[in-house]
A and B are shown apart, each in its own frame.
Chain A
Amino acid sequence: METLKELLSYKSGLTGIAVIVILSIAAIYSYFAFQKYIALWRNTNYWSLYPSAVPPEWVSAFNPHSAVPTKWFKPINVLKKELYGSATNITYIFKINYKWDVPPNDVKIVINATYTKFAPAVIIKIYGPKFKVTAIQDTITNLPNVISLNNFDEAKNAIMNWANLNNINATLPTAAIFRQKGTYYITVTFVGIGKFKASSKLLVDGTVYGLMGTDVFGRDIFIYTMLGLPYGLLIGILTSIIAATWGTLYGLVSGYFGGWVDRVLQRILDVWYSIPGLPLLILLTILLKPNIWLIMVLIAVFSWMGVAKVVRSMVLQLKNENYVLASKAVGATSRWIMLKHILPQIAPFMMAQVALGVPGAILTEVSLDFLGLGDPNVPTWGWMLHDANVYGAAVNGYWWWVLPPGIMTALVALGFALIGYAMDVILNPRLREV
C-alpha cells in the first residue's frame, strides 16, 4: 500500500497506472461486448460478406462524398400478396439514398427462405434514377444464401448485358448501376406455392468501413484490436507473474540456504542465462503446437533468471538482519523465516519485477504469433500483424491494418514499463533525483 502511494506520487508511475487501468477497463468491456467474435476469428466465410481491406470511415472526413461507407440495410417495406390459387408473393423493398461520387465495392443481398414443398422463386430488381434492371430471376435452390451483384455470375451477367445494351461503360455491375447520386430501390421478391417464410437484408460493401477498416478477409480490425486487449493483458501479466514467482522462490532458496545449494543453483542459473530463448521457444512451439496457456508457461521458462538473481542478492543481505537472527535463536524453522520475515521484505521488489517483465513477455508472445507459431484460435495482435505481413500490408499500403495492433502492443508494454521504472526509482533510492 505504501509503495502504491509512493508510486502514484511519481509522474511516470501515475501515467503508467492510468494507462493500465484504462486499458484494463477497455479489456473487460471488449471481452464481453465482442465475445461472439472470438469464435468467428478464423471464420473467413462469415467475414467474406464485408469488403476486403478497406480503410476506416474517417479517412473521408474532409470529403464525405468521396468514399462509400459499409452499411446494412433493412427493408423499408414488406409487401405480401396472395395470388390466385395458393401462391404467395412477398416483396422486400430496400431504399438506398446514394450520395457518393464513387460506386460501392459490392452490393450483397442475403436471402433466406423456409418452405415445405415447392422452392419459391426469387426476383431481384434494381430501380435507379430513370432505369430498371432485373438482376436475378431464379428458384431459390439455384441461388446462394448471399447474392453478390459483382461476383455471383447470374446477377453479374444480367446486369452487364443490360449495361451493354444501354451503352453504359463500366467494368463492374455496381459501377454500371451506381453511376450517379440519387435514390435507388432494390426489390427482392419471393414467389412460391404453398406456405413459406422468407427474409432478406442488404449490405452495401463500401470503400471504407467502420472505425478501423477491414483486413483482406473482411474482418473488422476494430473488433479484433479490442479483443486483442484482454488476451494481451492476460498473457503479459500471467506470464510475468509465473516467471517472477518462480524466480523469487529460486532466489529465496538459493540465497537463504547458501552453501552447496546456492552454488548448485547459481551454476544452473548461469547455464540457463546463456541459453538463447527465442530460437528454443520457436523450436518448442513448432514441436508442441501449444495452446495459449502452455505458451505462457514456455515464455516464463525463459524469463525468470533476472528475478532470481535480484532476489538472491537481497536475501543474502536480509538473512543476516537482527530480527531474522533473533527469530532463528528462538527456534523458528527455515520455512517460517522465509515466509514471514524475508518474503514480505522482497514482495515490493517482486511487484516491480512483475511490472518490468510484462513488456518482454507480451513482445515475445506477439513475436511468436507474428511468426505464425502461436495459438491460432486466439485473436491476438501478433496474429493480426502476421496476417498483415503475409498478405502484403506494406506493399499495398494497408496502414490501418498494421498500426492498431502495434500501437496497442506498445501501449500495454509502455504502461508496465512506466510502472516498472517508477518502482525501480522508488526501490533504488540512489537513482532518485536530488
Chain B
Amino acid sequence: MIKAIVIALFILASILTFTYPLLSLVPWLLLLVIGLKYNKQLTLMILSRVVDSAIVLLIVLIVTVALFGGTIAQIKKAMIYESVKRTVMSNPQLVQKLGSKINEVIKKLAEQQIKAQGLDKPWYANLPNYLMSVVTLDLRSQVLTSNSGSRLVRDIIMERLPNTVLLFTTATIITAIVGIALGLVAARKRGSFIDKFVTFAALISASFPMWWIGMLSIEIFSYQLKLFPSGGMLSVPPPKQPLALALDFLRHLALPLLTIVAVSFGGWAYVTRSILVGATKEDYVLAAKARGLAERVILIRHILRPSLPPILTMVALSIIASLSGAIITEIVFNWPGMGLLYWQAIETLDVPVVLGLTYMFTLIFVVTMLILDVLYIILEPRLRR
C-alpha cells in the first residue's frame, strides 16, 4: 500500500517538476515526510545525494560564471543597450524630438539601467544575478540563432535538446540490451566463441575513439557504398509525407546509432561478464548448488540479483563516457544536437551559448547520476535497511 502511494507521488512530483515547478514542491515534501517516517535511513541517504547534486551544479555554475565573469557583464550591458535602443527607436515622436542627440540619450538611459542592475560592480558582486540568468538560460546569444530566428539561449538549446536525447537514449538502450545480453552469455559459456568476441569487442571499446570510427563509417557507408546519408538529421528539403519523413529520419539516424552501439557494447558486455563471473564464485552460489536448487533459480536469485548494483554503477560510468563522446560524435555526423551546437558556439566564440550549454550538460549529467544513485540505493539491500 505505502509502496503504491510512494510510486504514485513520485510520478506526480516528477511530472509537476517539469510543468509547474513550484507546485511540485508539495508532492516532494510529502514524499520526504513519508520517507522519514517509514524508512529514515534510506530517505536521508537519498536526500544527501540530492544535496550533493545541487552542490555539484552550484560549483560548476560558479566556476563557469567566474571564468566568464567579465564577459557576462559585457554581454548583459550590450543586452541592456540593445533593449533601450529598441524602446527609444520604436517611439517615432521621441526620435523626432531628440534628433541628433538620440545616441547620447540612449547611452545615458542604458547606463542608468546598468547602474540600477549593479552591472558596473565587479563580477563577484553580481554572482547571484549571473547565476540566475544562466540557470534560467535567460541570455542572448551573440552569433547563433535558433531555427525560428530567436536569439534567446533558452530557445536555441531547447530546439537541440530533443535531438541529442533522442540519439543517445536510443543508442544507450540498444547498447545496454546488446551488451548485457552478450555479457550474460559470455559469463555462462566461458571460453566459447562469444566469450572471446566479447573480450575483442571490449578492447575495441576501450581503445578506438568513437568519432574516429564515425569518420571511417561515413567514408565507407555513405561516400563509398552510398548506403546512408553522410550527416544531418533530415534531408534538405525534408519530405512532406509523414511516412517518408519518418523513413528519411531513420536513414539519417542509422549510421550514428550503429557507430555508437558498435563502439560501446563491448565495454558493457565485458564488465557484465566480469561482474557475473565474480558473482558465480561467491560461496552462497556454491551453497545454493549444494542445496540442489535449479540452475535457473541460482542464476536469477543468486547471481543476477546481487550483480545488479555493480552493473548499475557500470551503466552510470558508461553514460558519462557516452555523454562526453556525444559532443564529438555529433560534430562528426553533423547531428543537430547540443554537441554540435557546443562546437558551433566554440567556433564562433558565442559565450552565452557556451555558458548555457555547459550548464545544460552538467544538469543532464548530474540528474542522470542522481537517478542511477537513487536506484542503486534502492536496489542494494545492504543500504536499504
Q: Which residues of A contact B (CB under 8 A)?
A: 267, 270-271, 273-280, 282-284, 286-287, 359, 363, 366-367, 370-371, 373, 385, 388-389, 393-395, 397, 399, 402-403, 406, 409-414, 417-418, 428, 430-431, 433
Contact = CB atoms under 8 A, between A and B. Distances in A.
Nearest to A366: B209
B209 A279 contact: no
A271 B68 CA distance: 22
Interface stretch (B82-90, B156-164, B322-330, B376-384): B322-330
B253 interface: no
Given A397-B223, A402-B216, A413 B207 contact: yes
A29 B216 CA distance: 29
Contacts of B369: 273-274
A402 B215 contact: yes
Contact of B224 (A279, A371, A397, A431): A397
B281 A430 contact: yes
A417 B203 contact: yes
A418 B60 contact: no
Given A278-B324, A430-B281, A393 B215 contact: yes
B324 A283 contact: no
17 contacts: A271-B56, A278-B324, A279-B342, A279-B358, A280-B358, A286-B349, A367-B328, A371-B343, A393-B215, A397-B224, A402-B219, A403-B216, A406-B212, A409-B207, A417-B203, A417-B206, A430-B277
B365 interface: yes
Given A274-B365, A283-B354, A283-B358, A433 B191 contact: yes
B203 A274 contact: no
Contacts of B365: 274-276
Given A282-B327, A406-B209, A410-B208, 13 more contacts: A270-B52, A274-B369, A276-B361, A280-B358, A370-B211, A371-B346, A394-B215, A397-B219, A410-B204, A414-B207, A417-B203, A431-B274, A431-B277
A205 to B, nearest CB: 25
A430 B320 CA distance: 27
Nearest to B343: A371
Given A385-B215, A431-B277, A277 B209 contact: no
Given A282-B346, A394-B215, A430-B278, A276 B324 contact: yes
Given A275-B362, A397-B223, A367 B209 contact: yes
B126 interface: no
Contacts of A406: 208-209, 212, 215-216
| Chain B residues touching A, majority SS | helix
A385 B230 CA distance: 17
Contacts of A431: 274, 277-278
A330 B55 CA distance: 43
A414 B200 CA distance: 11
Interface in B275-328: 277-278, 281, 320, 323-324, 327-328
A399 B219 CA distance: 8
Contacts of A394: 215, 218-219, 223, 230
B357 interface: yes
A326 B324 CA distance: 47
The residue in B219, B331, B349 that gathers the most chain A C-beta atoms within 10 A of its C-beta is: B219
A406 B55 CA distance: 38
A280 B216 contact: no
Contacts of A414: 203, 206-207
Given A283-B67, A389-B332, A414-B206, A275 B56 contact: yes
Contacts of B366: 274
B215 A274 contact: no
Nearest to A414: B207
A189 to B, nearest CB: 47
Contact of A271 (B59, B203, B327, B346): B59
A14 to B, nearest CB: 15
B53 interface: yes
A406 to B, nearest CB: 4
The residue in A273, A363, A399, A403 that gathers the most chain B C-beta atoms within 10 A of its C-beta is: A363
A370 B278 CA distance: 38
A409 B216 CA distance: 14
Contacts of A393: 215, 219
Contact of B323 (A276, A403, A410): A276
A50 B244 CA distance: 48
B190 interface: yes
A430 to B, nearest CB: 5
A373 to B, nearest CB: 8
Interface string B35-66: 00000000000000000110110011001100
Contacts of A399: 219
Nearest to B219: A394
A232 B211 CA distance: 18
The residue in A283, A366, A430 that gathers the most chain B C-beta atoms within 10 A of its C-beta is: A283
Nearest to B209: A363
Nearest to A286: B346
Closest 4 CB pairs of A and B: A413-B207, A278-B324, A406-B212, A414-B207
B274 to A, nearest CB: 6
Given A271-B55, A413-B206, A417-B207, A370 B328 contact: yes
Contact of A274 (B53, B63, B206, B209): B53
Nearest to B191: A433
Nearest to B349: A286
B216 to A, nearest CB: 6
Contacts of A283: 64, 67, 354, 358
Contacts of A286: 346, 349, 354
A32 to B, nearest CB: 27
Contact of A277 (B223, B324, B370): B324
Interface in B137-154: none
Interface in B159-196: 190-191
A408 to B, nearest CB: 11
Contacts of B327: 278-279, 282
B284 to A, nearest CB: 14
